[in-house]
Amino acid sequence: MLKVPVSSDDHIQGNTNAPITLVEYGDYECPYCGMAYPIVKQIQKHFGERLRFVFRNFPIPESHPHAGIAAMTAEFAATKDQFWQMHDLLYENQDNLELSALIDYATSLNLSGKELQTAIENETFVKKIEDDFMGGVRSGVNGTPSFFINGQRFNHSFEYENILAAITNASA
């Protein structure tokens, strides 16, 4: 079960009153999250206004040394109403998450690279990321990507057909 309900503190894409909610705990440097990224896009397209997608940070720095600063970069972009644009850029460029690249991504979205660097140095968004992470731990997340459909953990492989069937069953 999802222990932390979806709220206005979350990054939500789609109809906020949709009957179906898909929550992902993800790590921007995780190759499996990278594989899941286009699948989630397909699922969103398929369900349209019937689906609300929520992304929560779950960086695993022991395995992915750039995941933390990538999450901070996404949170920085969120303060400028560009979370989803940065989220997509990070997954589409997950092989290059060095600080200099993150600053370039911010600049490409007309965000201040200097402000981003200061936010990373000051760990401005660490609490938000830790809150997401701990909510995931309380919900039983132990790896990425981890999905929840209407509050229930999705425990199958994340191929398109599996997620599609699970969401279809949950909404029936």
The pLDDT mean for the chain works out to 97
Is there a domain that residue 4 lies in? no
Is there a domain that residue 1 lies in? no
* Total domains in the fold of the chain: 1
- Taking the C-alpha atoms of residue 144 and residue 138, their distance in angstroms, rounded to an integer, is 15
Is there a domain that residue 107 lies in? yes
Is there a domain that residue 5 lies in? no
CB distance 124 to 73 below 8 Å = no
Q: Is the peptide bond before 38 cis (omega within 30 degrees of 0)?
A: no
Is there a domain that residue 160 lies in? yes
- Taking the C-alpha atoms of residue 162 and residue 62, their distance in angstroms, rounded to an integer, is 29
For the packed helices 83-92 and 31-47, what is the interaxial angle rounded to 10 degrees? 130
Percentage of the chain lying above the pLDDT 90 cut: 98
Q: Is the pLDDT at 171 greater than 90, yes or no?
A: no
CB proximity list for 67: less than 8 A, separation 6 or greater: 27, 28, 29, 30, 59, 60, 61, 97
Percentage of the chain lying above the pLDDT 70 cut: 100
Q: Tell me the pLDDT tens digit for each residue of 109-127.
A: 999 999 999 999 999 999 9
Is there a domain that residue 53 lies in? yes
Q: Tell me the pLDDT tens digit for each residue of 50-107.
A: 999 999 999 999 999 999 999 999 999 999 999 999 999 999 999 999 999 999 999 9
**pLDDT value of residue 88:** 98
Is there a domain that residue 3 lies in? no
Is there a domain that residue 75 lies in? yes
CB distance 115 to 76 below 8 Å = yes
Domain at 128, CATH number: 3.40.30.10
**Residue range of the domain that includes 101:** 11-170
